[in-house]
Structure 1
Amino acid sequence: MAGSAAAAVGDVLRRVPPVVRRGRERAGELAAPVADRVKPAWATLTPAARSLLVVALVAWVAAARGGWAEMAIVAAGILVLLALAALFMIGHTNLAVKMITEPPRVTVGEPVTGEVEVTNKAKTPLLPVRLELPVGAGGVAFDLPALRPGSVHSELFVVPTQRRGVIQVGPVTTGRGDPIGLFRREVTWTDVTEIFVHPAITPLEPLGAGLIRDLEGNVSEHTSQSDLAFHALREYTPGDDLRHIHWRSSARHGQLLVRQFLDTRRSHIQVIVDADPASYRDPEDFELAISAAASLLVRAIMDGFDATFLCGEHAMTRGTGRSALDSCSRAELTGEALAEVSGRGARLAPDTSLVCFVTGPHAPFTTLKRSASHFPIEVGEIAMIVDSTASASLKAVSDLPLLTLGKLSELPGLLKWGL
C-alpha cells in the first residue's frame, strides 16, 4: 500500500510541470496579440512621458491608501496631460521619399551633392513636418512645408569630403510628436547609402618585373627548361629532359637538340599598412601612409599585376583599382600589430612576389623583421617609413631597403631607386 501511494504521489508530481507549462504557453498565446498592439504605442513614449506615468502611479497609490486627495488630483492631471499630448499622434504619414547622392566615389576634397525628394501620396494635405538625414558623424534637418496630395518637394544637401573614409548617408526619417515632448514616433523612409572618399594618390612610373611564374605572365629574359614561351634550340647536355628533344631538327643537324624556353612571370605586389597608432607621430602621417599605399596599388594594377592590400582588419586581394581604393578608404587605426597582419597577408596571398610594409617612424625595426619573416626568402621586401617631419631618403638595413617618405610627391623618386 505504501509503495502504491508513493507511486501515485510521484505520478501526480510528474504531471504538474506539463500542466503548468501548458498554462504558461496558453497565457503567452492569449497575451501575444495584446503585446503586439501595446509595444508600438509604448515605443512612442519618451523618457519624460514614462517618468510621468510612474509619478501618476505612485500618486494614485498614495491617494488610494492614504486618502490624499491632492495625490489623486496630481494623478488625474498627469493622465489628462498625456491624453492631450497623445492627440497629436493621431494620423498616418504617407510619403514617397527618394534620396540621390552623386557621385558615389570621390577623392579627398571633391564635392558630393545629394537630393531628397518627397512626394505626398496621401489623399489629404500634409502638415509641415521635419525631415532628418544623418550624414556621417553629423546630419542635416529640413522643415518640409505643407504639401497638397501628390505634391513634390526637393531639398539639396552637401556631403563633407575633407577626410578620407566611408561616409554613411541616411536613412531619411521623419519625426512626429507633441509640443511638450511626451510622444515621438520616427518613420524610416530610405536605406543607408555609402560614399567612398578615396585617398589622394600620385602618379607613378611602371613598376619592375615580377618574380613568380604565371601562365598568363610577362615574358622575362631568364631561360627555363619548361614553360610556355619557346625561345630557341640548343645542343643537348646530360641531364636535359628527353621530352624536350626536338627530334626533327636533331635528325636534320645530326645531333640532339632540345627546346629552350623563357620564363613567363606575373608580379603579385602586396602592400601592408601598419594599423597601430603608436607607430605614427600623428593621424596625418597615417593618412600619408594610406595615400602612398593607394598609389602603389593603383600603379601595380595598371601594370597588370595582382595586388593585395591589408591594414588591420581590412583586406583586399586581386581586385580592381576601384576595389583597392575602396579598401583604402575603409582603412582605420585599429591597433592590430603589423607582424600579425603580415602573417595573415602571407596566408592570403602565398604567391606574393613583392611585399611593401608601410609604417611610421615609431615602429621598431624588429617589428619590420618579424613581419618580413612570414614571407619566403625569394619574395622581394621593402619597408616605407612615413614621417612628415623627415626628408626623403633610402638606405638598407640587414638587407631590408628602408624608404623614408616625408611628402606624397616624393614617392615617385623613392620608388625609382628603391624598386
Structure 2
Amino acid sequence: MNATPSATNAAPRWHGPGADRIPIRERMRKITWRWMLWSYLYPPRGQRIMPTISGVLMIAVSLGIGSAAYNTSNNILFITLSLLLACLIGSGVMSALNLAKVSWRVTSSPPYRVGQTGAVSIELRNAKRLLPTYGLWFDLRTKADPEGHRLVQRQRLDPEGEPVQLDWAWTPTQRGHEVIELAGVGSLFPFGFLKKVLACELRTEVLVWPAAVEYQNLGVIAPSRRQSGHTVSKLGQNGDLLALRKYASGDSHRLIHWKASARLRQLMVRQFSSEQQEGYSIRVDTSADLWPRPEQFELLCSFVATLASDLFASGRLGTVAIDLDPPAPVRSVRDLEAFFDRLAQLEPRPSTGRPSQAPFASASTSVASGSGAAGGGPLTLSFSPDGARGVAAFVNGQKAATA
C-alpha cells in the first residue's frame, strides 16, 4: 500500500540558531565584541569546537614552528607561525558563522513498512543576509539503529533563499513505534581544521507497519463467484442486464444494444449488474497462550497484513477484528491503513492460564448453522501456529494458506 496513514496535519517546528525570529535591532543590542569573544572562548552549553585530525596536526606543526622561531629569532618563521594561527582561528570563526541563523526541521514521509525503504528528510533554511552556508552535516539515528546515518549538505544554501532538502533512504527493521532522532549538527567549513558541533535532541515518532511476507495459498482463498441470484445493483461488465442508457463518449462498442438503438434511432448501451465475489472476514486471536514465541507472533502480524492487503486489492476483504473487538468494515484505503496501524502496535494478549480455543472453532460453528458461504455471509479467516515457526490461515475450519 502506498497511501499515507493517518497523521497530524501540523507541520514540524523549525529548530536551530535561526529558528527564533528576533528583530534585527534587538539582536544588534545583544551582540557586542566582548560577548562574541567570550562565546568563542566559552561556547554555550551544547556547543563544542573541536579540532579534527588535520587540525591536531596543524597545532603540532604550529608548536614546532613557534619553538623554532623563538630559539632562532627568525622573522620568516614568525610570519609562518602567524599564518598557521590565523588559519586555525579563521576556521573556528567561519565554522561559527556558517551555522549562524540557520534552522532545520525533520520531516517524515509515511507510510513506513519493515523491509521497505522510506524517506526521512531534513529541511534547511538560511536567514543570513549576506553569507551562504556550506558543508553542514546531520547525525540521524533510530531506536533500532543507535549508530545511525550522517547526512552531508553538498549544495550551497543561499542567504534568504529557498530551503534545501536532504533525504535519507531509511529501511525500518522492526514494527511498532519508532523514534527518529537528530543527535547532532556540525560544520567543518571552511578548512576542516576545526569542527563546530551543536547538540540537538530533536525527535519525531513514526509508526512502522509489519513486513510483507511470502505465503503459500492452498487454493481455498480464490476469487470464486457467489451462487446464482447473488448480484449487486452496481454497474459492471458482467452479471444480469440492469438497464439501457444513451451512448456516451468512451463507452465500449460491444455494449451497444443494436435493436434498441434502431428502434429509438439513437445509440443505446447496456448496463449490467456486477456479480459480487465472496468476501472474507479476518479475525485475529492474540492470546499469549496461543502465541508463546515472539518470532512467531511477528510472523502472524506480517502474514495478516499481507493477506489483508491482497484481499483488499482484489475487492474481497469485508471486515477485520482483533480478539473480542466487534468486526470493523474495510470500505476504503483509510480503513485498511487503520487496521495496519493496529497491527503495528499489536502485542500478545496476557495469558489466562488456560489453553486457547482453536481460532477457527467459532467459524466452523457458523458454517454448521448456515451463516457461512451457503448463507451468503462473509467467510471467516482466522490464524493459528503451524509447527514451531510457521503460521497457518484457516477459512471456516479449512486450512487455506501458510507462511
TM range, normalised to the smaller chain?
0.3 to 0.5
The structure with higher relative contact order (CA 8 Å, sep 6+) is 2
TM-score, normalisation: structure 2: 0.42
Q: Which structure features the higher share of helix residues?
A: 1
TM-score, normalisation: structure 1: 0.41
